[in-house]
C-alpha cells in the first residue's frame, strides 16, 4: 500500500496535498467511552451516520478479550459505512480484525518495527507532540501523524502546555506526510488549523462529548469540507 503524495505550493505558503490511496479522510475521530453517555458502539454508529469516515479505537484500559470483541464489532460497522478503523497500540488486535491501520503512541512498539509486521497492508499513524517526534515518525515509516495539543484540552493536560498554531506550521513545513491537528480542536478553530497547514483534524470530545453526536459529526464534517475546498481554491486547484 504505497503512499503517493503530490504537493502544490499555495500562493499563501500553504500546501494543498493530493493523497492517493488511503488517507482519504480529513476527520479522524478517537474514541473515549468515558465521555459518552451510551454504549460505545451506539455512539460510533451515530458518528458514522453523521459522516465520519475514520475511527481510532482507543480504549487503553479494556481487558484484551473485551477489546478484541469491541474491535470486531466496530470493524463490521465501519465496513458497513465504508469507513476506516484504526486500533490504538495493539498491533495484534489490528491484524486479528483486519483493521485498516494501527495508531502508535510514545510507549508503543516503534513504527519501523510495526511496518515489518504489517508491511504495506495497513496504515500507521503516530501521535507526536514535537517537531523532532514528527520527523522521527516520518523517517520510521508512518503514513501520517497527529500533532498537538494545539489548544488547551482536558484530555491532554498530562502533555503540558498547548503547542500552538506556529508549532503546527513548523511541523507541516518539516514533514511530507499528512499532519492531523489534535487537542482542543472544535468548530470555532477548525479553520485556523487547516489554514495553518494541517491535512485534517483529530478530535474526541467535540463529537463524542456532544449532546447530539450525529448532528455534531455532520456539522464538523461539513465545516472541514468547506474550509478544505476554500483552501484548495486559493491554491489554484478546483
Residues with a known catalytic role = 58, 127, 156
Nine-digit cell string for 34: 468515558
In the block, residue with C-alpha cell 478544505: 228
Contact 173, 166 (CB under 8 A): no
Contact 128, 108 (CB under 8 A): no
- The whole-angstrom separation of Cα 222 and Cα 143 is 25
Instruction: Tell which residue, 190, 197, 179, has the closest CA to residue 219.
Output: 190
Write down the H helix ranges in 149-212: 165-174, 190-195, 205-208
Instruction: Tell which residue, 230, 215, 234, 229, has the closest CA to residue 50.
Output: 215
Residues 6+ apart with CB under 8 A from 1: 21, 22, 120, 121, 122, 123
Amino acid at each position: 500500500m504505497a503512499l503517493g503524495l503530490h504537493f502544490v505550493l499555495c500562493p499563501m505558503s500553504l500546501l494543498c496535498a493530493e493523497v492517493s490511496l488511503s488517507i482519504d479522510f480529513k476527520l479522524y475521530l478517537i474514541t473515549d467511552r468515558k465521555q459518552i453517555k451510551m454504549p460505545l458502539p451506539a455512539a460510533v454508529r451515530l458518528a458514522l451516520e453523521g459522516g465520519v469516515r475514520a475511527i481510532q479505537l482507543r480504549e487503553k484500559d479494556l481487558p484484551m478479550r473485551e477489546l478484541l470483541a469491541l474491535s470486531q464489532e466496530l470493524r463490521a460497522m465501519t465496513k458497513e459505512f465504508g469507513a476506516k478503523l484504526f486500533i490504538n497500540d495493539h498491533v495484534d488486535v489490528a491484524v486479528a480484525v483486519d483493521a485498516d491501520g494501527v495508531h502508535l503512541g510514545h510507549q508503543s512498539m516503534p513504527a519501523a518495527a510495526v511496518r515489518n509486521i504489517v508491511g504495506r497492508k495497513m496504515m500507521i499513524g503516530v501521535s507526536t507532540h514535537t517537531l523532532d517526534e514528527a520527523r522521527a515518525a516520518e523517517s520510521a515509516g508512518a503514513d501520517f501523524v497527529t500533532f498537538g495539543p494545539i489548544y488547551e484540552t482536558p484530555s491532554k493536560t498530562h502533555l503540558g502546555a498547548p503547542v500552538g498554531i506556529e508549532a503546527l506550521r513548523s511541523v507541516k513545513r518539516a514533514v511530507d506526510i499528512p499532519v492531523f491537528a489534535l487537542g482542543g480542536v472544535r468548530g470555532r478553530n477548525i479553520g485556523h488549523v487547516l489554514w495553518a497547514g494541517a491535512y485534517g483534524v483529530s478530535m474526541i470530545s467535540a463529537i463524542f462529548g456532544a449532546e447530539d453526536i450525529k448532528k455534531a459529526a455532520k456539522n464538523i464534517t461539513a465545516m472541514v469540507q468547506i474550509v478544505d475546498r476554500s483552501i484548495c481554491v486559493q491554491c489554484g486547484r478546483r
